[in-house]
Structure 1
Amino acid sequence: MLPEPEVRALMRAEHGDPFAVLGPHRTDEGLRVRALLPGAHTVAVLHSGSGWPLAQLERQGDSDLFEALVPASEAELGYRFEVDWGSHRSALEDPYRFPPVLGATDVWLLAEGTHLRPYEQLGAHLREVDGVRGVAFAVWAPNARRVSVVGDFNQWDGRRHMMRLRRECGVWEIFAPQVAAGDAYEFEILSSQGQVLRKADPFGFSARLRPDTACVVQPLPAPVTLPAGRAGANARGAPLSIYEVHLGSWRRKNGHEWLDYRELADTLVPYARDMGFTHIELLPVSEHPFDGSWGYQPIGLYAPTSRFGTPGDFRAFVEAAHAAGLGVILDWVPAHFPTDAHGLASFDGTALYEYADPREGFHNDWQTLIFNYARAEVRNYLVGNALYWLERYGVDGLRVDAVASMLYRDYSRKPGEWVPNAEGGRENLEAIDFLRRMNRVIGVERPGAITLAEESTSFPGVTRPPEHGGLGFHYKWNMGWMNDTLAYAGINPVYRKHHHQKVTFGLMYAFSENFVLPLSHDEVVHGKGSMIGRMPGDAWQKFAGLRNLYGYLWAYPGKKLLFMGNEFAQVAEWNADRSLDWHLLGEPLHQGMRHLVRDLNNVYRHFPALHELDCEPEGFEWLCHNDADQSVFAFVRRARDGSCVVAVCNFTPVPRHGYRLGMPAAGRWREIINTDGHDYGGSGVGNSPCDTEPQPWHGQAQSMAMSVPPLATLMWVLA
């Protein structure tokens, strides 16, 4: 019989090594089997194959611990329990008779923090062991005194499936027989301070919707082989026009019900394709408890949010996008995580995933915790998660949120509120190492996938390869261009001539990184108003100004990103709790705006000069950048074969008839875009095909007189 202190530890779920006492154990007397089955009346041991009785387990005192000597040869071939619960009987497999879950190599790699795919071992995995089906659970909690998996299958009783600690890597594990897909579970953790914590699985593949915090056992999604051509569609010389979407508010049924992933596959995907976009970017789809965070405070990094359906439904959405020729980019948040008690915060009773010092580990702006990038296991968790979305759901890329907050230890902190790095500087050296490793792993393991950084500072080399000292991202959001451009577009046209440099300055650094030009969700929330609402003037000037802004955006060097609703000039500021105002498309000006965006996308994709050299200075040349008095800009975009598109932008509401512009080649030129066209709701000022004249102008040997419409952009090509 077990010593009484050990029995009490088992009964209180305080035993740190249950496998040492439960299950089958060889003794001098023979094979002794022990089982802790709270609530059981009697327990018999049966041969697992024949069902032949082997022994009746005896209760130890008034505890729920049962034990007996069992014929060794028969028991070692496998056994199960027959339990009389008083109201019914059931047959149970003994989780303590099964071997360890993790193999030696996995333990080594997890301890080292170099396991490329930790999600294949940690979390909950459907397995068959010795002919018995169940789930292998494993969770990293090195400082816990005890960890149990609890769920519907054991009445959420932490005594029933206490786990084995693999001390070499700090992982607790158990094979739970007869647990199946669809079962809810969490981890119950006894901290070193004696607190009992209930935690969601950091590697959970599915989760219940708030306020329920349980994870759901789901099969690990099979790896996805990308369709032919997808890698090329993400290349630096390819057209990337990204439609940024918040799934919960793009469109709603009956005005308030969310569309699920499959309904979105049937509606959002064809809409984005018909609009000419090349990619859909989704605000974070990782499970998150608070709707108002828009997904930027995730708890289930490995689980597509159940708001819109199952993991299989989300995978069907990605497949539908690929079938339509669209790429899928996910917003991904490795910069911080929320403080919710069931999440990663103080996971095992200690600062495990976060920095312990709040000067390093707490975001004052967002009231969230910061990942401890110095820990190999945390870096491994995040790198594995990035690879998981790319490999297991086939997404094309990850847009990494809030990179600037990761790079600098003094981000949004006053002097004395931050801790310098080991060299005395302000850079977060371990976060930099993490980003480089993440991008390097993706480059090797998922070539053709892309990563995009939302990085708002002048940190050097964001899109330079890690081996050349960079961070290794493929693209960076051009926040400087966005801020300057929107500030300029919001100025009364009368005064724009005094702010001419807000447009020209961006070309000083336009090719220092591989840039995406973002008009994102951040620009239409928190009192900023809508994009159309930011334009000055009366209704005519607002719509003309926004059409002009879009024409300028699509002509400017850099990949494109437009937030949903902006394509038809949503009037109200974005509200994540309601649908976009689709009824506005019944009005000609809004329909015209959408028509323009569709045409801009189609022209952008059709003419290589507008995308092939987006990131190379050879793809751009100013024709006119000093006409501040008339607020006119003109430039050339070039393709590798020398073909070109000439863009002319007039940022005043005054038409410029007979405007002479130097042209890069002699011949007849025709308009391919005129944002003042009648079809878009404009005044219709435009040009028939025009011929150049051998009159030098703007440094060019040839020039051409044209009518430049008010508040409009023209794009010209050789006829």
Structure 2
Amino acid sequence: MRYERADLMTGMVQEGLQALAEGRHGDPFSILGRHLYGDLTVVRTLLPGALSVSVIEIETGRAIAELEPIHEVGIFAGLVGSSAPYRLRIQWPDAVQETEDAYSFPPLLGDLDLHLISQGTHYQLGRTLGAIPMEIEGIEGVRFSVWAPNARRVSVVGDFNAWDGRRHPMRLRPQAGIWELFIPRLTHGERYKFELLDANGNLLPQRADPVARSSEAAPSTASIVASSKPFHWHDHDWMDKQAGDRSREGAMSVYEVHLGSWVRIAEEGNRSLDWVELSQRLVPYVKKLGFTHIEMLPIMEHPFGGSWGYQPLGLFAPTGRYGTPEDFAYFIDRCHQAGIGVILDWVPAHFPTDVWGLARFDGSALYEHADPREGFHKDWNTLIYNLGRNEVKGFLIASALEWLEHFHVDALRVDAVASMLYRDYSRNEGEWIPNQYGGRENLESVEFFKHLNSIIHDRCPHAFTAAEESTAWPGVTKKPEEGGLGFDFKWNMGWMHDTLHYISDDPVYRKYHHGGMTFGMIYAYSERFMLPISHDEVVHGKGSMLGKMPGDQWQKLANLRAYYGFMWGHPGKKLLFMGQEIGQETEWNHDGSVVWDLLDRPEHAGMQFLVRDLNRLYGAEPALQFGDLHPAGHEWAVADDAENSVYGMFRTAQEGYSHVLVMSNMTPMTRHGYRVGVPREGCWDVVLNTDAAIYGGSNFGQSNVWTEQVSAHGKPFSLNLDLPGLATVFLKWRG
């Protein structure tokens, strides 16, 4: 077949040239780059604003062709008498640039990658999709790829191409709906987004990368090319130790933090601390107070600070508010070197509707359900992930693994699990669609959680998961093979609500609600529980923990100390939100800071000392740990004394050599000569008294008590105790 020069340059692709010039062409590689026609070679390139373009043979460095402008928008073409690798020399109005041609590279992602993405089982999406700095055919650059199966055209835009969607249209890999392009000579730090035309050819708002590993800090919205250079970790011993302790039966005391409002620097515009500063101040603080873990409210990139991170859009990117991804890794490394685990709150339930985010990403309901009865949360004005779609499930699981594998995070606390498990969650009759069996259970979510937890436990032996699940869904912490969801822990929301309701009552009325403090033990071992006094209890007009307590200031502090003592004596892992450890008087304000000046007052410093000593006692006493997960480790010593509002708990270690008696007097009345039966004869030492002077109390009580040969509460021996008012006392059997 004979080819005419004019046809090769323009005629054979005239319609395509016009579509390319107008940013409508969905297959740019069919026109741009190098094309062979028999023994002739044509190179075409799209460079709006260029004055001239030369083709340079890479091996020799000589110019082998001058390209001619064939379209006024800036499309150049020319016959090239060589099939050798080439680059382009571009004359701009004020500079000369040499670069390889983005359209000279072959397809990038392999068939296996594409198959796994479609199947929802590609668990390294953060290193496959998005923006990945790499070398291809000896050329350094960035490979961009994005899932948008229903788009007509997708382009990469950024500072490097003046945010012009015509300049870098991508190649579609139709078997997976993935668009890809390698742009040579780019590197990490570049800002970028994707520009899409929907199936009808309508231009959509430019989108941030769903799999970006770095993002601009809000209110800016661009994605940033993250470095692919591995972080140099120093936590190998920590990771090995966690992998060998899958039972999680030891002490676990969690300090929950909203990083932006833990400490603010008033002298510098009230700014928050960055990751490096947090590693220098937060980590030693948590270590000093004896907490075993830091739990952070979501640090995935999110547009609205007032959501506290619970409406994220960057599920693979640490928020730019506190620094770079490398800084975040440094913070995790410092935590581990200090012996502190890191828990991240993670949100697979929903996402916000911002036009530059995931909503109708390619013009269709891609990540979300199309039907608002399944896809819209009225409570939060957010969209719900479509877990019936393989690619969406794979996206979320890959996000979870990104934090656990690449950032060495120790655990994910999954937010809003109840909203995912029920199709009628917060919906009226007629506002929801039943499952295939006519029920309200969200079967897709159930399978998602089983799959998620199975994958995490298989791939990340160092890690665990916790569910914020506020209903009585059975088997949240059972293994998937046993019919459960597979979480390691569940937040005990019922215990929290019952005990807070009780402790908020005036002591004179507490005898009428005595069961509020004991009811939790009826179901305490139905799941593996964590006792959370979280951020949710000190916002939205609920007041501070101290503000919930009745009485004058002294009684409020004593009540709170007694409650913390009861909590640490009760089975279940512990969690406190920041500020609660110092008895903050005002509720949490995410735009403010913990009121650290309170520590100038002895009674608030005493509250902090108490939390420190409770953590130390919990960590040192096997008897206070074993019963967290095993019924044999807990027994009521006194459960029915409603008239006096007194509670007693025995905590016992597995081997039976360690016994701790926890006594709580929830009225201001001191109880002299209060007799309680005990199983062991000998001396019982008071190892902690929340009424001690160092904690701000009246310092009433005993230091040790010897048993008497008087039976009580079904036990052969008993102790004659003096119980301080509004206090919890821990006694340890000495023998």
Does the pair score TM above 0.5?
yes
Letter in 2 for 1:645: V
Query: How is 1:486-565 mapped onto 2 (pairs within 5 angstroms)?
Result: 486-565=500-579
**Secondary structure at the counterpart of residue 73 of structure 1:** coil
Which position in structure 1 is the counterpart of 2:6? Answer: none
Residue by residue over 1:544-571, the C-alpha shift from the partner in whole angstroms, topping out at 9 and shown as x without a partner, is 0000000000000000000000000000
> What residue in structure 2 maps to residue 644 of structure 1?
659
Q: Distance in 1 between matches of 2:619 and 2:98?
A: 63
Letter in 1 for 2:280: D
The Cα shift of 1:73 comes to: 3.2
Q: Which residue identity does 1:543 align to in structure 2? A: L
Whether the 8 Å contact between 2:242 and 2:461 is mirrored in structure 1 is no
Which residue of structure 2 lines up, in the alignment, with residue 567 of structure 1?
A: 581
Aligned match of 2:602 = 588
* Residues 455-496 of structure 1, C-alpha deviations (whole Å, 9 max, x = no match): 000000000011111000000000000000000000110010
- 2-side partners of 1:51 and 1:170: how far apart? 38
For residue 624 of structure 1, report the CA deviation from its aligned partner.
1.0
Distance of aligned partners of 1:222 and 1:407 in 2 relative to their CA distance in 1, 3 Å threshold: farther
Asked if the contact 2:17/2:31 (under 8 Å) is kept, the reply is: no
Query: 1:40 and 2:47 equivalent?
Result: no
**Alpha carbons 2:239, 2:462 under 8 Å: kept:** no
Distance in structure 2 (CA, Å) of the matches to 1:231 and 1:559: 19
- Name the structure 2 match of 1:712: 727
Q: CA separation of 1:711/1:231 partners in 2, compared to 1, >3 Å: closer, same or farther? A: farther
Deviation readout 1:94-126 (Å, 9 max, x if unpaired): 000011110111111111111122222101101
Q: Name the counterpart of 2:213.
A: 205
CA RMSD in angstroms comes to 1.2
Q: Is the 2:568–2:618 contact (alpha carbons within 8 Å) kept by the matching residues of 1?
A: yes
> Within 1, Cα distance between the matches of 2:300 and 2:72?
46
Q: Alpha-carbon deviation of 1:221?
A: 6.3
Deviation for aligned residue 1:85: 1.8
Give the Å deviation of 1:16: 0.7
Consecutive unaligned residues of structure 2, counting only runs of 5 or more, are 1-9
In the alignment, is the contact (CA less than 8 A) between 1:230 and 1:327 conserved in 2? Answer: no
The answer to whether the 8 A contact 1:232-1:238 is kept is no
What is aligned with 1:141?
148
Q: Is the deviation greater in 610-619 or in 219-228?
A: 219-228
**Structure 1 residue corresponding to 2:674, chosen from 650, 653, 659:** 659
- CA positional deviation for 1:601: 0.2
**What is the aligned partner in structure 2 of residue 104 from structure 1?**
111
Measure the CA separation in 2 of the matches of 1:117 and 1:668. 58
> 1:668-688 CA deviation, whole Å, 9 max, x = no partner?
000111001111111111113
1:218 and 2:226 aligned = yes
Specify which of 496, 503, 509 is matched with residue 482 of structure 1. 496
Whether 2:700 is the aligned partner of 1:702: answer: no
1:463 and 2:463 matched? no
Question: Match of 1:388, as an amino acid?
Answer: E
Quote how far apart the aligned CAs of 1:233 are: 6.2
Q: Aligned pairs, how many?
A: 716
Alignment of 1:621-700 (within 5 A): 621-642=635-656, 643-700=658-715
Which range moved further: 289-298 or 636-645? 636-645
User: Does the Cα contact within 8 Å between 1:221 and 1:393 map onto a contact in 2?
Assistant: no
Change (3 A) 1:336 1:395: same
1:541 to partner: Cα distance: 0.8
Matches within 5 A, 1:71-86: 71-74=81-84, 78-86=85-93
**Is the Cα contact below 8 Å between 2:246 and 2:461 reproduced in 1?**
no
Which residue is 1:337 aligned to?
A: 351
Q: CA–CA distance in 1 between the matches of 2:652 and 2:492? A: 21
- The residue correspondences of 1:150-549 to structure 2 (distance < 5 A) are 150-197=157-204, 198-220=206-228, 222=230, 225=236, 226-231=238-243, 235-254=247-266, 256-549=270-563
Q: Distance in 2 between matches of 1:235 and 1:527?
A: 38
Equivalent position of 1:25 in the other structure: 35
- The 3-state SS of whatever aligns with 2:484 is coil
> Percent same amino acid at aligned positions?
53
CA offset digits 1:625-676 (Å, max 9, x no partner): 1100000010111111112211111111100010000112111000111001
Q: Does 1:13 align with 2:39?
A: no
* Preserved contact between residue 147 and residue 162 of structure 1 (Cα < 8 Å): yes
Letter of the 2:472 counterpart: S
CA contact (8 A) 1:40 1:85 kept: yes
Q: Is the 8 A contact 2:240 2:462 kept in 1?
A: no
Distance 1:112 1:193 in 2: 27
Instruction: Report the 3-state secondary structure (helix = DSSP H, G, I; strand = E; otherwise coil) of the residue aligned with 1:611.
Output: helix
Q: How far off its partner does 1:40 sit?
A: 1.3
In structure 2, distance between residues paired with 1:343 and 1:449: 29
Write the letter of the residue equivalent to 2:703.
Answer: S
Residue 129 of structure 2 is matched in structure 1 by: 122
**Contact 1:205 1:220 (8 Å CA) reproduced:** no
What's the secondary structure of 1:60's corresponding residue? strand
Shift of 1:64: 1.7
Partner of 1:199, secondary structure, is: coil
Q: Post-superposition shift, 1:254?
A: 2.4
How many angstroms apart in 2 are the aligned matches of 1:574 and 1:205? 30
2:77 is matched with which residue? 67
Q: How far 1:131 sits from its partner (Å)?
A: 1.2
**CA distance in structure 1 between the aligned counterparts of 2:654 and 2:71, rounded to whole angstroms:** 85
Counterpart contact for 1:475–1:514, Cα < 8 Å: yes
Structure 1 unpaired stretches of 5+: none
SS in 1 for 2:180: strand
- Opposite residue 648 of structure 1, the aligned amino acid is M
In structure 2, distance between residues paired with 1:222 and 1:407:
37
Q: 1:234: how far off?
A: 6.6
| Equivalent-residue separation in structure 1 for 2:228 and 2:515 (angstroms) | 53
Conserved in 1, the CA contact under 8 Å of 2:130 and 2:211?
yes
Q: 1:565 to 1:501 in 2, by over 3 A?
A: same
User: What letter is aligned with 2:551?
Assistant: G
Distance 1:244 1:62 in 2: 59
Q: Which residue of 1 aligns with 2:7?
A: none
**Offset from partner CA, 1:484-521 (integer Å, 9 cap, x none):** 00000001100100001111111110000000000000
Distance 2:472 2:588 in 1: 29
Q: Distance in 1 between matches of 2:665 and 2:510?
A: 11
Work out whether residues 661 and 697 of structure 1, in 8 Å CA contact, stay in contact via their aligned partners in 2.
yes
Name the CA shift for 1:32/1:552 in 2 (closer, same or farther; >3 Å): same
> Aligned partner of 2:654: which letter?
R
What is the Cα deviation at residue 178 of structure 1?
Answer: 0.9
CA contact (8 A) 2:489 2:529 kept: yes
- Conserved in 2, the CA contact under 8 Å of 1:297 and 1:337? yes
Pair 1:4-2:5 in alignment = no
User: Which region of structure 1 is more displaced relative to structure 2, 565-574 or 115-124?
Assistant: 115-124
Distance 1:49 1:29, change over 3 A: closer
CA distance 1:582–1:636, change in 2 (3 Å): same
Whole-angstrom CA distance in 2 between matches of 1:286 and 1:233: 27
